[in-house]
Amino acid sequence: MTPLHEPLVDTEELRPTHLEVDLGQLATNYRALVARLGEVAVMPILKANAYGHGLVAVARLMERLGAPCLGLAFLEEGIRLRRKGVRTPILILGGILGDQIPRFLEHDLILTASSVDKLMAIDAAARAMGVRASVHLKIDTGMERIGVHWYTAPELLEASTRCTHVDVLGIFSHLATADEADPTYTRLQLERFEEVLHFYEARSLPTPVRHLANSGGILKHPGTWFDMVRPGILLFGVAPSQECPVEGWGVAPALTWKSRVVYFKVVLPNNPVSYGATWAPSEWTRMVTVPVGYGDGYPRALSGRAEVLIRGRRYPVRGRVCMDQVLVDVGRESAYNGDEVVLLGGQGTESIRVEELARLVGTIPYEILTSINTRVPRVYVGEDG
């Protein structure tokens, strides 16, 4: 086991609850996608703390693996990576405010130009600073978030040809339903995007790098791959939905959420446990306390629903999940202080996948992973590329 790339404390001082991230598995996942996609470039999406895996360590790994570009959501994520020495091109996918533009330029970050006004503001700021700005043009083909509508996109593309201090490196849109069973809306978005791209062919202009496919698009819609794809949750070995299985793609989860037993007691019949007194055993049972809770991102909605792994066996969480602790019922079995507890991941021949936890909570795997609090230390293991 190797220590954190950015140690917050010595490894010996880590709280019992931590995330173990297998960098070797992440490297395998990235290489598998690169091999499968051939000449299509792969831009890892590392927003939301690299889907809970740790932004800086994962970005450094992707840089060592030769990723052509990294995708993030916000300016501050990009600045953090630059300050940590990551030099790979970084595209910030989200919307921007005008007063943020100089910060993008100072840190050599690629901006998303989502309107004519924003593009002109970027050009003006770059001119004033005596530098060139790199941008990707954002086209809204059906999400209604940011970006110009596909039917008004020619105005943005025309404006981009008049800029004096802007380099248009890419053009992209985002798929709303690529991970769902019905392909109809994805096909419509693809048609709209292709209609926009005709602008370049009609004027004999070089086409910027085109990218449309998210994880769902990569898995289900090869026609959306274009020049570059944007794997997010797929990079981390997790299926974006039940309709998008990852089997056969050579990827696997790289994260294990671990803790340890810190207390053991016998609970007598009819004695309720945890807040609200919502559950009590009908006969005496052995209970253990695990130092993890919703304050760490372990959802309160898992109360009385989830299971954990101890010594390779599943045991149920009883009563309500507390902010910092959960209670686990081991029945007539034995567990001891210090025993490893796996909340997410594998132990022995058993495993608890993030898709299982998401189903129990009634949410999506993305939310489970990105909700794991930063107070949970990340420990990196395995070959790191």
* Residues with catalytic roles: 47, 275
Q: Can you tell me the distance from the alpha carbon of 178 to that of 19, in angstroms, rounded to the nearest whole number? A: 30
DSSP secondary structure code for residue 152 in this structure: T
Asked whether the beta carbons of 368 and 48 are under 8 A apart, the reply is no
**What is the radius of gyration, based on Cα positions, of the chain?**
24
Angstrom distance (rounded) from CA 142 to CA 118: 20
Q: How many residues does the chain have?
A: 385
Backbone dihedral angles phi then psi of residue 349, each to the nearest 5 degrees: -95, 0
The two beta strands, 18-22 and 255-260, are antiparallel
Provide the β-strand partners of residue 166. 133
The Cα 346–Cα 253 span in angstroms is: 10
Q: At what angle do helices 55-64 and 23-37 cross, to 10 degrees?
A: 50
Helices in the chain by DSSP H: which ranges?
23-37, 47-51, 55-64, 75-83, 101-106, 116-129, 153-162, 184-202, 215-220, 354-361, 365-370
* CA–CA separation, 293 and 230 (whole Å): 32
| Distant-in-sequence, close-in-space partners of 101: CB < 8 Å, separation ≥ 6 | 111, 121, 122, 125, 133
